[in-house]
Every structure is written in C-alpha cells, then in structure tokens.
Structure 1
Amino acid sequence: MSAPLLVEEHDDRMVLRLNRPEVRNAIDRDMVDALHAACAALEAHPRVALVTGTGGTFAAGADIAQLRERRRDDALAGINSGLFDRVHRLPLPVIALVDGYALGGGAELAYACDFRIGTPATRFGNPEPGLGIIAAAGAAWRLKELVGEPLAAEVLLAGRVLDAQECLAARLLTEVVEPEDLEAAGHRLADRITAQAPLAVRLTKAVLHAPRDAHPLLDDVAQAVLFETQDKADRMDAFLARRARKEQR
C-alpha cells in the first residue's frame, strides 16, 4: 500500500503531496495522521510548506466511507478541524497548489493555507449539507473571511461550486497557471517568501492572524524582538549601502 502523503524535504521548504489518487485524494485517518507528522516536522524546523495532490486532483473531500461511521464523539474530537487549525498555525506560510477539485475537507485544507494557486481546472465547493452534515473543519467561518459572506453563503448553503476564474476574482486564488506550471509557480512564491528575513516572516504571520484586541501590543513586542536581531542590522546596512552606491552614480 502506498503512503497517503509523500513528503519532499528541502532546507527552506517542504512539499507535501496528498497521495490517494484512486479515491481523488480523499482525506482519511491515515492521511490525517501523516499530515500531523508533517506539521510536527515543520514546527520543529520552520519552513515554507507547499501542499498539492497527485493524479490531477487536490482533494475531493473527506473519506465518505469513514465519515459515514463517525458519531458524536468523533465530531467533538475535531479530527479534521484540529488538523487544519494546526496547518493554519504553522510558523511559516503554507501554499496550496490546487489542480482539479478541492471539495469538502479538501477545500477546508486549502482554506487553512496562507496562499492558494490554481489551474483552469480548479473547482472549490463545500457539499456537506447535501450529505446531511455541515462544513465543520473551518469552511463555515474561514471561507467568509476569505471571500465575504454573500459568496460564502452560496457555496455553503446552496452548493455552489466555484471555478478557477471565480476563485481568482474573489482572491481565493492568488494565481491561475497551467497544470504543468503549478509546482513551479508554487516554488516561485516560496522563493519570494524565503528571500525575506525568516523571523520577520514568522512574526508577521503571527501578527497577521492575531485577534484584533491583541493589537497594537503584539505588533510592538514583535518589532522589539526584530529590532535586536543581527539579520535586521545586516539587511538595513545592505540597503543603505545600495542606496549610497546609487547616489554616487
């Protein structure tokens, strides 16, 4: 049996490939466990993460056969919601590379990421009410924050499936590229992120996601930490040196 998640590690990034193509990468407990293990590695050694699917699909939801057997205590355990919250809270940005369908739990995984890049075949939807349940792993509130309440309501309450251009117009996708360029586009974005000061990116993500009443104190504390770093001094010295050279021309 093949691994439900393929992990490719680099010094500054990690590529996670959802790998159940025979069921369109449906998210089952084995994949949840594998994603938790990947999160633990990313927490121990912070890197940018890229999440993608195999077989031309991101993830067409949770595994319905397993979902059918879940009961009250399973819901209260937050099997998927806990994982996706952990993904959202990873120290450095997470980029979802979405080709084909991202439905149900697959969509919620993508919503938990910091960026989403798609292809012309990308489709986002949350069909949970049609199965007698709700989108309980983040979509019911995270999608509203991403695209606004009117559009989120159409997806969550009326079963609307968004195509790539609709997602791009709503800024749910930051870019739409051809399938063969999807991973390269993800790495280009990762290159832009990793060119920044790592601790500054990490603290900016924390401040960005903090509740309103945490500001401005959190901003000031984060800035105080960064003001004392050698990276800040080196980068500002380099900036001033470049400006001086330009002025001498």
Structure 2
Amino acid sequence: MGVDYSSFTTLQVTEGEGRVTAVLNRPEVRNAIDSAMVQELHLLCADLEENPRILILAGSNGVFASGADIGQLRERRRDDALRGINSTVFSRIAQLPMPVIAALDGYALGGGAELAFAADFRIGTPRLKIGNPETSLGIMAAAGATWRLKELVGEPLAKDILLAGRILTGEEALAVHLVTEIVEPEQLLAAADALADLIGRQDPLAVRLTKAVFAAPAAAHPVIDTLAQGILFESSAKFDRMDAFLERKKK
C-alpha cells in the first residue's frame, strides 16, 4: 500500500507518469530542513524503494532550501550529530533505484545544497545561490558535502566553498557543471519534467542497473559491470528494443 502523501505537512507530493515530484514547502523559514521534513523524506524514499520511479525535488516561493532549521540545529548535541539525521536521509535519496532530479531556484544553502548534491541531476535558475556556509556558524557540512562536492566540482573549488564559504551563482554553477542547465524560474519544473521524460524513454531496468553500477566503488569494476550486463542480456526489454531498432533500420 502506498504512502498517504495528503498527510504530509512539509512536502507537497504529486505523482505523475513514471515520476514523483516533491516540493519542499516551509515558506515561513525558506524551506529549512527540519526533523518533520526528514521524516517525510524517509517515507517518500520508502515508497520509491518499493515502487521505483524518477524523483523530482523542488522548492517553493523562489527558494529550494535555505539549509537545516537553525532553531533545531542550535539545540542538537554530540549524540544528535552521531545519529547522522540529515546525512542518513540524503544518502537514502542518493541510493534510490531511479534517478533523482533537483530543480534549484533561489537559495540552496547548507543542508539544502547537500540535498541537491545527493541528486543525480541538478537544474538551476539565474537567481540560484548554492553553497555551504556552515563554518560561519561554527559547524561543518556533515551531510555529504565534504565528499560529494569534491567529486562534483573538484578539490580546489570544493575547498573554496567548504572552507571559505564561497556561494556560487546559477551561471557559476553551470560553468563548473554543478548544474547541467539554467532556465528561467517559471520554466524550472517544465525543464525537470522534460529531463524525466528523456529518462523515461529508456528501459527502466537498464537505467536502474546503470545507476547502481555507476555508484559502485572502483574495486567492484569490471566484475559488477559484467554481472549487470548479464542480467540485461537476458531481459525481454533488450530483445524487444533491439528488434524494434532492427526493424526501423530496414525501412
């Protein structure tokens, strides 16, 4: 049985063809990520793990997410940090079977940036501001930025963002390939849907296995590639799609 998304208070979730769109909706605090949102993200992940679909994450009111809720963060202590409250759910999002698209407008800072880094694709707007100012608050970006960001933009820029608090604009993020596209705010969700449409035209099992193999550690290759390909070589979709391709070639 699916999740009752109508009961959610921090996410507005809509289900479409082959995808789910989750809009962060705490406008009074610029969509800051609090414990309630983390819990709803976990429920969303549980649904997408059981019934794999593309996930589109977006913000509301011109903001993706301004970061973790500072009011709650102020009261967290060592044991809370050791629980990995945000890092656990962001890792779960990153490991979802089907791709995750982050549609980024306005502020994507701190935990908001780390949520975006967990996605497979990021699309931005000209007014995007993305970065990790955690050290200015006496803490560090501990929900994935210290290692995901280096993989995404390289070590020098990652250190500039993490250690010096540099905030990238949308165009700067595009120049370093942190986002793949810049569109006007009113076109943002349409662009995310267009990308979801492209992914949706591929064979779902091939997409799932490619994502899983892509995320595997170097030591697992090439064995894991070969095993995944062996599964796909026996799939009915392989024969159907290749037969259709060969038929088109004859015309």
Q: Which runs of 5+ in 1 are unaligned?
A: none
Rounded to whole Å, the distance in 2 between the matches of 1:83 and 1:55 is 24
Q: How does 1:29-178 map to 2 (within 5 A)?
A: 29-178=35-184
* 1:110-156 alpha-carbon deviations (Å, 9 max, x no partner): 00000000000011110101101000000011000000000011000
Give the superposed CA RMSD: 1.0
Rounded to whole Å, the distance in 1 between the matches of 2:213 and 2:135 is 34
Rounded to whole Å, the distance in 2 between the matches of 1:214 and 1:184 is 37
Amino acid at match of 1:84: F
8 Å CA contact 2:8, 2:40 repeated in 1 = no
Rounded to whole Å, the distance in 2 between the matches of 1:22 and 1:156 is 27
Shift in Å, 1:11: 3.6
Rounded to whole Å, the distance in 1 between the matches of 2:219 and 2:110 is 31
Q: How does 1:21-36 map to 2 (within 5 A)?
A: 21-36=27-42
The residue number in structure 1 matching 2:4 is none
With over 3 angstroms needed to count, the CA separation of the structure-2 counterparts of 1:2 and 1:94, relative to structure 1, is closer
Q: How does 1:206-225 map to 2 (within 5 A)?
A: 206-225=212-231
Rounded to whole Å, the distance in 2 between the matches of 1:96 and 1:11 is 18
Structure 1 moving runs of 4+ over 2 Å: none
The alignment's TM-score, normalised by the length of structure 1, stands at 0.97
Give the match's secondary structure for 1:31. helix
| Residue-pair matches, total | 245
Q: Which runs of 5+ in 2 are unaligned?
A: 1-6
Percent identical among aligned pairs is 63
The residue number in structure 2 matching 1:244 is 250
Give the match's secondary structure for 1:133. coil
